[in-house]
Chain A
Amino acid sequence: MKFLERLENLDRRILFLLVGLAVIIPLIFPLGLPVDITRPVKSVFDRVEELPEGAIVVVSCDYDPGSEAELTPATAAFVEHCFRRNLRVYMMGLWPAGPELGNLSLESIAPRYGKEYGVDYINIGYRPGGPVMLVSLGRNVADLVRADYAGVPIDSFPLGRALKSARDIDLVMTLSAGDPGVLHWIIYFSARYGTPIATATTAIMAPQQYPYLSSGQLVGLLGGLKGAAEYETLIEMKARAVAGMDSQSIVHLLLVVFIVIGNVILLYQKRRI
């Protein structure tokens, strides 16, 4: 049983190497496993389906490049769905870099649906001030938003004029990677104005949202890259998120194997004592 002892003191760099390979190989040679749909994702999808044409959806990009890997695919899939349903997208962000990242998705998707800036979608950019800002935004948008992200007066756009306060918002989608983010939207916005909030979060934050899902404070949830992959599947447009799912599966299996080995070692040690 020398082998097990060696495994026990396994240099963790070997683990690291295996994890690295398990990610790289399936990316180059994809397997194409199917994706199942969970209820919180379906709820977001259904809510968007139920909205009447022309409804205003606030898409708040509350993330930064650190979580871009997880949230950009979700942003893209959600915006795609909104445009397909002819909803109006009002983009903003509680994090400085968020709206810039979100804009990349808007700009690449809008032309495909013939959407016009200022009419069908708008980006008002980064909105600093967290909680305080959210409260005043819900009260009166005009107090706070005078120009879009490029500095063009907001009144010069039909969509800019259409949104006056929280009452005009049919749904808020926050793509959230931390604070300020989904919690602030719930506490400072929804709790005050009753606006429905949907969210896509990093997978790390997802479990934390379940209490809010079950209390109805959240409409639905896209958790991590998996959530984005599910949404991509629901809108029948498989892209980057679905591609990453194979690597996910392999690494997860690898981890389970590690854990099993760890426990075999434990059993062996126990028996020896």
Chain B
Amino acid sequence: MKQTIPLIIVFGFGFFVIIAFFIPLSAFQDASQTFETWYTGVIAFFVFIGIFNIVKVNASKIQRRLSDWQYSIILLIFLALMMAAGFIGGPNGGVFNYLFEHMQIPLGATMFSLLAFFVASAAFRAFRARTPEATLLLIAAVIVMIGRVPIGYYIWRGFPDVVEWMMNVPNTAAKRGILFGADLGLISMALRVLLGIERSYMGGGRE
């Protein structure tokens, strides 16, 4: 039962949605639409088990005085503050927005901007002409890097066109090939999942 019911659910809902896609009758369309709404709702609702997990993990860290336990207190305080602000004052409330604007936004943007540095260190390390493949990677990267900025245009007026050609031709070709392959892999995996052949995602054993 622990295996069968979940497998029936995956099979039933999956194939229903696929079939409903081809049947314009309102009964099918409405049911399919309802399942889609439920599914977005259920996914979102799950965030509360996440919050529960954060509290549990951090509380036990504090209780057991594991290393860096003091920081867990900070985490829990700000979590409580943000949730209280949001659920009492609503998602447009003043405190909620203030914390979002002056803490979450700059923290996110700064974390994101670390990439400027990491792009440099990765380029320094990886772009070395060790093999023919690595050489292609290196040459393509350097051409585009220079051609994309105004100074490239200064050096040679044809640079932007070369960059555009590289993006349009080899880049498009390889990415399209990867996309096709990935989509096939995806469809085959989705089918294995729907048919219950692949069940390791739910910890299920072999057939």
Binding site for B on A (CB under 8 A): 10, 12, 15-16, 18-20, 23, 33-36, 38-40, 64-69, 129-130, 132, 207-208, 210-211, 213-214, 226, 245, 248-249, 251-256, 258-259, 261-263, 265-266
Contact = CB atoms under 8 A, between A and B. Distances in A.
A66 B40 contact: no
B146 interface: yes
B109 to A, nearest CB: 6
Contacts of B117: 15-16, 19-20
Interface of B: 33, 36-37, 40, 104-105, 108-109, 112-113, 116-117, 119-121, 123-125, 127-130, 138, 141-142, 145-146, 148-154, 157, 160, 164, 167-168, 171-172, 175-176, 179
A266 B127 CA distance: 10
B129 A263 contact: yes
B171 A214 contact: no
Contact of B151 (A213, A253, A258, A265): A253
A65 B111 CA distance: 12
A214 B168 contact: yes
B186 to A, nearest CB: 14
Given A12-B121, A19-B117, A132-B33, A252 B145 contact: yes
Smallest CB-CB A-B distances: 4 pairs: A249-B151, A65-B105, A33-B150, A36-B153
A255 B123 contact: yes
Nearest to B124: A258
Contacts of A214: 168, 172
Contacts of A66: 108-109, 112
Contacts of B120: 15-16, 18-19, 251, 254-255, 258
Q: Is the interface of B mostly helix, strand, loop or mixed?
A: helix
A67 B115 CA distance: 12
Contacts of B157: 36
Nearest to B153: A36
A211 B176 contact: yes
Q: Is the interface of A mostly helix, strand, loop or mixed?
A: helix
Contacts of B150: 33-36, 245, 248-249
Given A65-B105, A249-B150, A210 B171 contact: yes
B111 to A, nearest CB: 8
Nearest to B91: A96
8 contacts: A33-B151, A35-B150, A36-B157, A65-B105, A226-B149, A245-B149, A249-B150, A252-B151
A263 B149 contact: no
Given A65-B108, A266-B128, A266-B129, A211 B175 contact: yes
B94 to A, nearest CB: 14
A116 to B, nearest CB: 24
A248 B168 contact: no
Contact of A34 (B105, B153, B179): B153
B167 to A, nearest CB: 5
A250 to B, nearest CB: 8
Contact of A262 (B124, B152, B153, B160): B124
Contacts of B138: 259, 263
Contact of A129 (B40, B119, B176): B40
A259 B142 contact: yes
A256 B145 contact: yes
B117 to A, nearest CB: 5
Contacts of B128: 262-263, 265-266
B42 to A, nearest CB: 14
B167 A207 contact: yes
Given A210-B171, A249-B151, 6 more contacts: A36-B157, A130-B40, A226-B148, A259-B124, A259-B127, A262-B125
Contacts of A132: 33, 36-37, 40
A226 B150 CA distance: 9
Contacts of B112: 66-67
A256 B125 CA distance: 12
Nearest to A248: B149
